Structure 1
């Protein structure tokens, strides 16, 4: 089967913060799940071809050329099409602060008269369900209604005519004319999805995003990249639950053509905690409170049952399954939904949460009896599991180890518990936590370094280095200019740089238990920027930061990884961790004290 070859960097995101659509620079929406990011797709061409669902809207002239941008600090996408006939804009957005889940595509004539074509293929449930489609409404206000099982979609706009299982429309716009197409989704057992007021929705959506962005604390030479990254983080944060998905997609491959394809549409405690810190560093204390409330709901119960990830609503059951209905991006199979790593023990996760909640205290977020009670329970679990080997931050599917980064985050968890008691006056067993904290530090200093004690190592049974070691100074385990840290950076530069970008680790070492290779991990390169900045290598930091920001696509989005040889984005997109790391690096270079002050 022929599959899509649209480059990942060709996609822009439309979002209402509950879910998001990926629209290519050719005008095709190739990925959309309703009503949440982690629900089933109605457009799945991203992981197959057009027969797996898409909605194309573009000029009829195949030679028409497009440029696009977001409308200021929003997720309103404006694509300007130029053809031999004239010029037209396509304005696309998902209304926010609205009960309806909708995608609006407005075509505005700018010059001349431009003919447009719309092609719609709806495939529900990850392309496993071909919906029942019929026309309702009247001649002047046609509505295409598609239903399959519990799902219903209505499309309003120019009349769509059937062509097999595809529906097509053709229309023209002249200067000053506007033609709207609106897709709305709902449950099939509700009233048919209702029409929306496009003018009001557009104004409301622009205002909502602009107001949110206006509260971001600004500054520094990479302000535009930082702002777009903050907006991406907000787009991935559910407005009701407070959960933060790691990415908008599933199964975009780390190794195209290979099997390293994972579902990232869930809330990793680690990524969510780091997002909380980014929010705090830029003035969003209310977002911190909402995420803390999400955390209380998600991990309620026995702390021994804490997971590394949850659903957007705090769901625990996220079984990993392989889909036969989608062949994968460029044939990269299998396509997975759910994530088997949910059952892993990753020793750093509780530490990430407790570091973030300490940052919240420092930012003035007041503890509640239940929030501190939860942290004490998590600390009790850290004490019980203090010697437990884990799968590590990279979710290794090989043997368990005492990964040095994980051990440092165990240290950080205990350290923040001690601070909560000693510096904030909260009640807890600070003596026990302090004793274990100091013991873990001593063990890392003995077993988390190479035989000569020169540099930190990935885990206690190897001489290999790992990019996560760059985070040790960030959480205060050691100084950035500690001789062992400087030696670790030198080893990372020697062993993990590929065309100047940082790999997570050497896959050839076999630690991850997976076949195939991967590409440089963008977050790791931003971490190296922070390390350079912290040790006075400002020129090196600036050069690398410039290269990394240039990797972002034309609308400022970053995926998980980057192939510098091909100049291609790799992996799920847009990726929260990549944008989080950009924010941290920009803050470090700008001399911003927010994140560093909260972390260490």
Structure 2
């Protein structure tokens, strides 16, 4: 077998962790008890040694996959020679404190005819590095690996024993489940179970399904978006919620690691953490949809990080954190796995945590400003933290850095980092004026204005007639598509319109946008990469603000065709249209929401 294509997955989760389910009924990625824990199922990155939890018909079949409307409940439908069946997958939401217990519920149904389903539960604990035992017990099965355990609970009715055949195969458990039209059974896999496996009656399982569906529909009903693209915006909102760690409010960049930006290349990163940048962008996107509670939760998470002030060389803030707010993210490689289609190395942890990326201060302060405008206010402790962050930035913004794209070719004076430093001081000044808070206004004003003049004098390239990536070259950078959104320049300022044209000519191909050109601007890594879907949606936003609505709408509609069957996006799109990079990526879905809201409002 070979690894399933990145796009051939749906996502389920319980607000603590998440699982990817293939269109052939296999869970081939799942970490527990939280997003950044070691994997239990990892066939996505090694088909032979990664482990999986698969339910599919025994014979030849075709399959399709969809979400139950307005929920995170996933349905995989199978058509075989003798009948039609489906597997309904979900994880009951846990909007509570951290827990080691998490449930994957899998309902198996025969819709028409007769189908024999094969069930394989093959965990591989700790990225496949920890051995385990599989044991059949009276009412199910258990998998034990030292202090880690799984319990497999059967969903069945009295007298069902003749329907199933179960046996242990090494460290795996295999079952055969034969159903006829109208019958429904299933299994529940529980991590960290406190009790032995037990039989679950179908009525109890159905109630769990109904509760989960009701939870998601009640949550989505809070959305205030009534625009043209409600379905895809709702799916993006649900995806962002699935990527949020409920105990802290932190948003992970993606639930996966090691998925390549170029198949066979080395651009393979661990994204199961909370980036200050990504999560800050989520505040405006969530507020635009009416999800104020989620925006407030992240605001609290961000405030805690600023007050802790342990960002190391990067100042009061680190670039990224674990979902619990800790920053132990030393990078290492999984040498024993083969990688997605041979893409190596497979990194866990992320050394970008120790980089200097000045833009995060602008993004953080912009999110604080947006939350304040939404009525959340800024408590005294929060203002004290803001002042400390800006005091640090005032002494450090005028130096080389690694930049938004986390390059590994040495520090440079990136224009985007300077732009967002301007945003930080600008938002700090606005907050101080609005609330009458004590602040070194004269110094902050000088800092803000100095950055403005520097960007205009050194970030603007007279030959290219555009703002460029850094001060010592003429390469373009799609990160600067956010310039008019920040208010640094008006969206129809001639300097910005010229930059937008240059980006369109150099980095855009039929709505697909490269973040930069690695050949022209070496980033310390070998090979090329696909187009960046975040940038593609940011391009739509920039076109809209520039008044080029027909172009913007065409580009947006084209981007919608690159979503997978379930409305999900990875990080990048390859030259063949294949989804690449970690999946699904929060950044992409955030940018989609921003573009949809901006474009819809402009169209009227």
Shorter-chain TM-score category? over 0.9
Partner of 1:370: 381
Give 1:598's aligned residue: none
Q: Which residue of structure 1 lines up, in the alignment, with residue 601 of structure 2?
A: 591
The residue that corresponds to 1:572 in the other structure is 582
Match of 1:256 among 263, 273, 293: 263
- Alpha-carbon separation, structure 2, partners of 1:72 and 1:453: 48
CA shift, 1:482, in A, is: 1.6
Query: Aligned to 1:226, which of 219, 223, 233?
Result: 233
1:518 corresponds, among 517, 529, 543, to: 529
**For residues 453 and 438 of structure 1, do their structure 2 counterparts lie closer, same or farther at Cα, with a shift above 3 Å needed?**
farther
- In 2, Cα distance between equivalents of 1:537 and 1:592: 10
Task: Name the structure 2 match of 1:110.
Answer: 111
Q: 2:92 aligns with which of 90, 95, 102?
A: 95
| Partner of residue 40 from structure 2, selected from 24, 39, 42 | 42
Q: Please say if 1:246 is aligned against 2:256.
A: no
Q: Distance in 2 between matches of 1:308 and 1:299?
A: 12
| Correspondences of 1:473-484 after superposition (within 5 Å) | 473-484=484-495
Residues 191-200 or 448-457, more deviating: 191-200
- Equivalent residue number for residue 560 of structure 2: 549
Q: Distance in 2 between matches of 1:432 and 1:191?
A: 61
1:169 aligns with 2:175: yes
Q: CA deviation at 1:499?
A: 5.0
Question: 1:297-330 CA distances to partner (integer Å, 9 max, x unpaired)?
Answer: 3343336342010000001111001011322100
Shift of 1:497: 2.1
Listed as ranges, the gaps of 5+ residues in structure 2 are: 155-163
- Structure 2 Cα separation of the partners of residues 559 and 43 of structure 1: 20
In 2, Cα distance between equivalents of 1:242 and 1:211: 19
Q: 1:399–1:511: 8 Å Cα contact kept in structure 2?
A: no
Distance 2:355 2:197 in 1: 41
What is the CA-CA distance between 1:386 and the residue it aligns to? 2.2
The residue number in structure 2 matching 1:282 is 289
For residues 134-173 of structure 1, give each alpha carbon's deviation from its aligned partner in whole angstroms, at most 9, with x where no partner exists: 122x2xx3x2111112211111225531233432111111
- SS in structure 1 at match of 2:466: coil
CA contact 1:279–1:287 (8 Å) conserved in 2: yes
Change beyond 3 A, Cα 1:503–1:289: same
The alpha carbon displacement at 1:518 in A equals: 0.2
Match of 2:2 in 1: 4
The corresponding residue for 2:503 is 492
Secondary structure of the equivalent of 2:382? helix
- Are the counterparts in 2 of residues 29 and 55 from structure 1 also a CA contact under 8 Å? yes
Aligned to 1:353: 364
Structure 2 CA distance for aligned equivalents of residues 396 and 43 of structure 1: 31
Q: Does structure 1 residue 562 correspond to structure 2 residue 562?
A: no
Q: Which moved more, 1:506-515 or 1:554-563?
A: 506-515
CA–CA distance in structure 1, aligned partners of residues 301 and 536 of structure 2: 30
Aligned partners of 1:290 and 1:70: how far apart in 2? 27
1:63-107 residue CA offsets vs partner (Å, 9 max, x unmatched): x22222111111101122222211222111011137640111101
Task: Confirm or deny: 8 A CA contact 1:4 1:45 kept in the other structure.
Answer: no
Query: Which shows bigger deviation, 378-387 or 523-532?
Result: 378-387
Provide, for residues 510-561 of structure 1, a one-character-per-residue CA deviation record: whole Å limited to 9, x for no partner: 4311111100000101011011111121111111111111101111000000
* 8 Å Cα contact 2:102/2:190 also seen in 1: yes
Report the counterpart of residue 597 of structure 1 in structure 2. none
* Number of aligned residues: 583
| Secondary structure at 2:187 match in 1 | strand
More divergent stretch after superposition (95-104 vs 203-212): 95-104
Q: Which runs of 4+ in 1 moved over 6 A?
A: 193-196
Shift of 1:49: 0.6
Residue 36 of structure 2 aligns to a residue whose secondary structure is coil
User: 2: CA distance between counterparts of 1:467 and 1:295?
Assistant: 26
Q: Could you list the per-position Cα deviations for residues 420-466 of structure 1 after superposition, in whole angstroms to 9, with x for gaps in the alignment?
A: 11123222122211111011000000000113482101010011110
Matching residue of 1:31: 29
Structure 2 equivalent of residue 596 of structure 1: none
Query: Given that residues 569 and 589 in structure 2 are in contact (C-alpha distance below 8 angstroms), is that contact kept between their aligned partners in structure 1?
Result: yes
TM-score after normalising by structure 1: 0.94
Q: TM-score, normalised by structure 2?
A: 0.93
| 8 Å Cα contact 1:184/1:194 also seen in 2 | no
Long gaps (5+) in structure 1: 594-600
Partners of 1:186 and 1:193 within 8 A in 2: no
